[in-house]
Amino acid sequence: MLEKNNMVVDINTGTFYRYPIKEITPYRDFMEYVKKYDIPVILSSDSHYSEHVGMKIKEAGEYAKEFGITEMITFDKRKRRMVEIG
């Protein structure tokens, strides 16, 4: 469904640093789906405060790479662009 509707999956670190579960989302089973169907991802810290901007982003990139995902999408003036996850 996601791939047919040109959707992007948000790899989000907010659950890791704000809640006691200490996991980056989406969960592993869903990430397998993302990889299988080549759905683009974006990395976010889901910051609610300025001091949280970018928090655990490196870890989000490492998490994506665990599934063989090496690129993420960025947006510039609503246009998509793929970049390598650093």
Model confidence, pTM = 0.89
- pLDDT score of 1 more than 90: no
Listing DSSP states for 41-64 in one string gives EEEE---SSGGGTTTTHHHHHHHH
Q: Say how far apart CA 38 and CA 4 lie, in whole Å.
A: 11
For 5-51, write each residue's pLDDT tens digit: 889 999 999 988 888 888 899 999 999 999 999 999 999 999 999 99
Q: How many domains does the chain have?
A: 1
Q: Say how far apart CA 28 and CA 60 lie, in whole Å.
A: 13
Give me the pLDDT at residue 16, please: 87
Q: Say how far apart CA 68 and CA 45 lie, in whole Å.
A: 21
The whole-number average pLDDT for the span 56-69 is 97
**Structural domain boundaries enclosing 76:** 3-84
Give me the pLDDT at residue 21, please: 83
